[in-house]
Structure 1
Amino acid sequence: MRLAFRVDASVQIGTGHAVRCRTLARALAARGHEVAFLSRHWVGAEDIPLTRLSPAITEPDADGPAHAGWLGCAWSEDAQHTAQALAHNPPDWLIVDHYALDARWERVVAPHAARIMAIDDLADRPHACALLLDQNLGRAEQGYQGLVPAEARLLIGPHHALLRPEFAAAREGALARRGGPLRHILVTMGGVDKGNATGAVLDAIGPLSLDVTVVMGAEAPHLRAVRAQTERLGARLVVDTPDMAGLMAAADLAIGAVGSTSWERCCLALPTLALVIADNQREAAQALAAAGAAEIVDAPTALPARLAHYRDSPAALATMAARAGAVTDGRGLERVVEALESA
């Protein structure tokens, strides 16, 4: 099969959409399928076949989806550019992962792809697709009733989370080491972290005598400031890590944003103090908290008290770890690949 991905990554959008699409693309390529990416905005490594769409001349639609501004142009212009890019070699699947695109865009590009798969997290707009993936905890198929064609297949919940194979491989060892005292904290506020939530977290937890590892992307706008902070505090900074699974497995608790890394942490039964740094993260954060897999912290200033609680109560930390580990087994990638291949 030939599969094309329409996805963007930027300081505004973040890198999570691109990361999960690259994960899926690599799994498909490993099985002999041809993959290609179409992007209007891209930050980070270009280690995939990437076509940049033509420069935009229009403004985002005022009547578009809630995240229409992320596209940087009108949806119709983007659809035209995408259709042009696909016309010479139409794919068997076009996989679109973009909060700014909906059924209008999908209908325009549909003649240039055999089938369309949509990856969504919000259930806030219609899709014209044959397959839809929403890997979020607490989502039900009913959430897409009336938003997708009646015949569309739905892959719903963290059971289908697009995690790299190394997370499933590290799961058994990570589960075995849970239940100990709180010593090592992993801070992951997103690959870009445009608001520098990482800096605020470090300001709050700096005085505590805990081993801290901070993970950021090379394109993070506040990387230099965070590097200086970690040096002052004696914390470890890891940039563009190739081994997030290893870092998570070795940590006792994470302080993190809510996004694709939530399912990575759950796969490895890593308890989380979650900071909601964007409105579109709130629903997922509440679902994680309801499942006992994370605790929502309203502001970084509340972190010292919560860390002290879990340091003094290993049983509470172990309970959160067990509940996190029950959310996903880390094998969603295999299930999504099977769905694409069997369609």
Structure 2
Amino acid sequence: MQHPVSKQIAYGVQTRVMVYALSKKLEIVLKALNVLIRCDASIQIGLGHVTRCLVLANELKAKGHNVYFAQKDYELGIQKVTEQGFHYFLPPMPFNYHQWITSLAAQLSVNIFIGDVRDGLAIKTIESLKQENILTVAIDEPSDYRKACDLCFYPPHAQLSKLDWSGFTGEIKQGLEYVLLRPEFYSKNVLNPAKKTYRDILVMMGGTDPMRLTLPIINKLLMVHNIKIHTIISQDHPDRLTIINTDTKVYYGVSNMCNFLKTINYAVISFGVTAYELIALGIPATHILLNSDHKTASQYFYKQKLAMPLHINNIKENPTIIEPTLNINRYGIEQCLIVKKILKEARNAV
């Protein structure tokens, strides 16, 4: 028979062990994690990768985590990141991609690495990060390094079966709930649907429009009567003054894209994240396809009568850029689940 005092001591030890275990678990839950995001923006690359990574970064920051960017020396990307108060790190010279990322991860005690870049990031770099117990994440990534990542997130249009997944042991998440939009586009924040008459037309070939497509598309639309043409284009774009002289309303640095798009009835865009912002608001569109990836991606929208695809080489020959039979309802995109999933997996790894 156990002595009462021994029983009390045993109970006390057991209680202290449970309290310690709970306190350690709470410490993990409350711990601020260090996140390193690898992405770029330039006139050639465009703004899409940095824009969606900033959505991720701001959500992580709002939850109390530390977010850093690893960027190449492209002025546009650096500008966008610093405007929102994030620190960035440039690669030392001579450039060694693997050494740059692994050394930076060690320097910052990184817990999570997020890649949204298509510039030769190697599988061995991801494997080295994983050996240091760093959660590795790829965003809408066709590059080979995804095959070594723990988590891969994709929008609905991605044709994953066409990619080589040999050796992949991670987890893939695909769907509208894994599309990174600015917070104002999620259905709980969208207060009114778009208008259904095609009077206000937006032309947006990306913020930088490196192929100078905005002006020829506007010239084509000028043949259509009773419409107002709007465009968002950089202040130093070589065609900006010519576009202004066409009586097009020109914008730059739109602070709330959701509110701006609510004034638009139809959009002509180069394919990108804007395609999802438009369906979130119920705005039909023509997708200008710049490459084979855009053609594949746009098929998801075309099959559901959400948009009309138009290849860049067919702009001059096409009788009209606007497709009048598109009249979609707003898709309610409730929220993006990427951050929730990342943090859950990172907590398990800590």
TM-score scaled by length of structure 1: 0.80
2:256 to 217, 220, 243: 243
Query: What is the alpha-carbon distance in structure 1 between the residues aligned to residue 316 and residue 188 of structure 2?
Result: 32
Matched, 1:133 2:153: yes
Query: What is the alpha-carbon distance in structure 1 between the residues aligned to residue 63 and residue 176 of structure 2?
Result: 23
Aligned to 2:272: 259
Deviations 1:118-167 (A, max 9, x none): 11243766521111111242545x556725632x1212133211111111
Q: Secondary structure at the match of 2:191?
A: helix
Matched, 1:301 2:316: yes
TM-superposed CA distance for 1:9, in Å, is 1.3
TM-superposed CA distance for 1:27, in Å, is 0.8
- Does structure 2 conserve the Cα–Cα contact (< 8 Å) formed by 1:92 and 1:113? yes
TM-superposed CA distance for 1:336, in Å, is 0.8
- Does structure 2 conserve the Cα–Cα contact (< 8 Å) formed by 1:139 and 1:156? no
- Does structure 2 conserve the Cα–Cα contact (< 8 Å) formed by 1:135 and 1:156? yes
Q: Secondary structure at the match of 1:274?
A: strand
- Does structure 2 conserve the Cα–Cα contact (< 8 Å) formed by 1:216 and 1:239? yes
Aligned to 1:74: none
Aligned to 1:159: 177
Deviations 1:280-310 (A, max 9, x none): 3221112221221110123333566243x52
Aligned-pair identity (%): 20
Q: Secondary structure at the match of 1:341?
A: helix
Query: What is the alpha-carbon distance in structure 2 between the residues aligned to residue 102 and residue 288 of structure 1?
Result: 32
Aligned to 1:292: 305
2:215 to 199, 222, 226: 199
Query: What is the alpha-carbon distance in structure 2 between the residues aligned to residue 185 and residue 170 of structure 1?
Result: 26
Deviations 1:175-233 (A, max 9, x none): 2x44x321001111112211011122112112333111101245xx6x241x2133212
Query: What is the alpha-carbon distance in structure 1 between the residues aligned to residue 59 and residue 102 of structure 2?
Result: 25
Deviations 1:306-339 (A, max 9, x none): 43x52xxxxx232xx22xx33x61522xx11110
- Does structure 2 conserve the Cα–Cα contact (< 8 Å) formed by 1:28 and 1:337? yes
Aligned to 1:85: 104
2:61 to 17, 26, 29: 29
2:335 to 314, 331, 334: 331
Structure 1 stretch 268-277 or stretch 152-161: which is displaced more? 152-161
TM-superposed CA distance for 1:50, in Å, is 1.1
- Does structure 2 conserve the Cα–Cα contact (< 8 Å) formed by 1:121 and 1:136? no
Q: Secondary structure at the match of 1:154?
A: strand
Letter in 1 for 2:154: D
- Does structure 2 conserve the Cα–Cα contact (< 8 Å) formed by 1:205 and 1:304? no
Unaligned runs of 5+ in 1: 58-76, 311-315
TM-score scaled by length of structure 2: 0.79
Q: Secondary structure at the match of 1:275?
A: strand
Q: Secondary structure at the match of 1:132?
A: strand
Aligned to 2:9: none
Letter in 2 for 1:340: I
Q: Secondary structure at the match of 1:94?
A: strand
Structure-2 change in CA distance of 1:4 and 1:134 (3 Å): same
Aligned to 2:70: 38
**For 1:138-287, what aligned pairs fall within 5 Å after superposition?**
139=159, 142=161, 146-147=165-166, 149-150=168-169, 152-168=170-186, 172-175=190-193, 177-178=194-195, 180-209=196-225, 210-218=227-235, 223-225=237-239, 227-287=240-300
Unaligned runs of 5+ in 2: 1-32, 346-350
Structure-2 change in CA distance of 1:287 and 1:169 (3 Å): closer
Q: Secondary structure at the match of 2:138?
A: strand
Aligned to 2:89: 51
Letter in 2 for 1:78: Y
- Does structure 1 conserve the Cα–Cα contact (< 8 Å) formed by 2:70 and 2:90? yes
Letter in 2 for 1:301: K
Query: What is the alpha-carbon distance in structure 2 between the residues aligned to residue 97 and residue 148 of structure 1?
Result: 20
1:317 to 307, 315, 326: 326
